[in-house]
Amino acid sequence: MGNKTVSDFIVTENIKLNDTNYLLRLKAPDPLPIIRPGQFVNIEVKNTSEIFLRRPFSVFEMDYDKNILSVIIKILGRGSKKLTEVIAGDTISLIYPLGRHFTYPGKGERILAVGGGSGLAPMLFLAKESGLPAENVDLLIGARSASDHIDVNAYSQYGSLNFTSEDGTLGTKGFVTHHPLFTDNLKNYDKVYACGPEGMMKAVAREARKAGVNCEVSLENLMACGFGVCLCCIEPTVKGNLCVCTEGPVFNINELKWQI
C-alpha cells in the first residue's frame, strides 16, 4: 500500500462534538500524500506509563491546501480518552497512510453508506470523495440516542442524511437495518458500504447479500503496529488469515468468512 511515514503532527484544533466524540485537526510537517476513504492512521498516546500501543483511527477529512488531516476520536477507553485531552499546539506522532481503502463507485452509480459509532468518519469522507451527485448518495447513521449523534448537516451537500437511534429520539427507532432504506429500497443501490460495530456490519452485510448488492465493510479489529508485524488484527478470510491493518481494513463481504 505504498510508503508509510512516521511524523509528529501539530494539533491545530480539538473540537468537542458531544460527550464522547472529539474532532482533532492535525497539521503535518511535510506535504501529505493522497489518502483515500477507509485508510487510517495509527496515533501514539503520549505522556502515560500505562498505554504502550498506538491507536488506529480512520481518516475523516483531508485539507491538502492547509496540509491538515482530521480524525474523529470516540472515547472507548483510556487511550482514546487521553487523546481527547490534547490542546492546540501539542504534537502527536502518527504513522500514515495505512490500509486498503474503499472501492470508489462508478459514474452514475447509486450508493448507500452506513456508519455507526466511530465508523461515521470514513462514511462521511467517502460521500465527500465519491465524485457522485448528492442525489446518488444516501448516508445512514446509527447511534444509541440523539445525544450520541454528532452534527453532520454540512454533509447534506454530498448526500441525503438519514438517522436511526435505538431509543427513537432521532430518526427511525431501532438499528440501521430497521430503516426504510433497508426494508424498502436496498435493491435500488449499486453498492453498500459500512463501518462500525461488528454486529452492525454483519447485519448490513446480511441484508446486502440477500438483496444481491455489492457490499464493502471496514473492519475495526484491534490494531497496534499497522505493518502486519504484531498479528493483533488477524481476520479469517477465503484467502486465509490476513492482517486487517495491511490487507484491509476494507474488505468485500465475499472475502470474509462471516456467518451471515
Architecture field, domain 5-98: Beta Barrel (2.40)
Task: Write out pLDDT tens, residues 172-230.
Answer: 999 999 999 999 989 999 999 999 999 999 999 999 999 999 999 999 887 777 777 88
- 142-151 pLDDT per residue, tens: 999 999 999 9
Q: What is the 3-state composition of the chain as percent helix, strand, coil, each rounded to the nearest 5?
A: 25, 35, 40
Q: What is the pLDDT of residues 51-104, one digit of tens each?
A: 778 899 999 999 999 999 999 999 988 999 999 999 999 999 999 999 999 999
Task: Report the alpha-carbon angle 74-153-82, nearest 5.
Answer: 15
Identify the pLDDT of residue 117: 86
Coil, helix or strand for 122?
Answer: helix
- At 2, is the pLDDT very low, low, confident or very high (cuts 50, 70, 90)? low
CATH code of the domain made up of 111-255: 3.40.50.80
Domains in the chain: boundaries: 5-98, 111-255
Residue with cell 488531516: 69
- Give the number of other Cβ atoms within 10 Å of residue 188's Cβ: 12
SS3 66: coil
Find out whether 7 and 18 touch, Cβ atoms under 8 Å: no
What's the whole-model pTM score? Answer: 0.94
**Which pLDDT belongs to residue 203?**
97
186 in helix, strand or coil? Answer: helix
Alpha carbon dihedral 127, 56, 87, 143, in 10-degree steps, equals 50
